Amino acid sequence: MARVTDLLSSAALGGFFAGLWVLWAAAPYTPGQPLATVSVTPDAVFRLHAYRERRGQSTLNPDTGGVVLPVQYAHLSWPLLSIDQTFVVKVATQPAVSWMAGRCVRKLSPRLSADSPHRPRLVLLRQTLEAVPPGTYGIYPAYSGEGLTLRSQDPVP
């Protein structure tokens, strides 16, 4: 019986610390600030400024001349605790979070996809954004509904 209680208490403590780790990982994303910043050039090279600066190559849209940026992002919500957080996981092929956070999001999202108000929900989503080069853009959560928006960060002359 002592082994069962030790196992249960270890599992509860591990779950508690895993939950705190997820909340701590999402803490840098303050309201009103971009989730990530992307600088694009006319030859479809982009620089991702998240926790570390990354450089990648994307494609140009032949119709508009814009740089196509496929974005993978996660949405964490838990109505019981009033948690509603969106964070960028990857832009094109470049990670926007640490390898451990990206791996945890990919592993936990199938397990935390229930629509219960008493359980956390973690959903991994994809969206394609288009940036007009040259320029610097911020990736923000949408004002209404789910999704992301791209807003110019360049000062207007």
Q: Could you tell me the pTM of the whole model?
A: 0.76
- Is 135 domain-assigned? yes
- Is 122 domain-assigned? yes
- pLDDT value of position 32: 79
- Is 157 domain-assigned? no
Domain extent at residue 86? 2-152
Q: What angle do CA 94, 53, 134 make, to 5 degrees?
A: 85
Q: What are the tens digits of pLDDT across the range 24-67?
A: 665 666 677 888 999 998 888 899 987 778 888 888 888 888 89
Going from the C-alpha of 31 to that of each of 52, 102, 135, 143, the distances in angstroms are: 20, 21, 23, 11
Domain count for the chain: 1
- Is 20 domain-assigned? yes
- Is 146 domain-assigned? yes
- Is 136 domain-assigned? yes
- Is 64 domain-assigned? yes
Ranges under pLDDT 50 in the chain? none
Whole-angstrom Cα distance, residue 18 to residue 67? 37
Whole-angstrom Cα distance, residue 102 to residue 116? 24
- Is 85 domain-assigned? yes
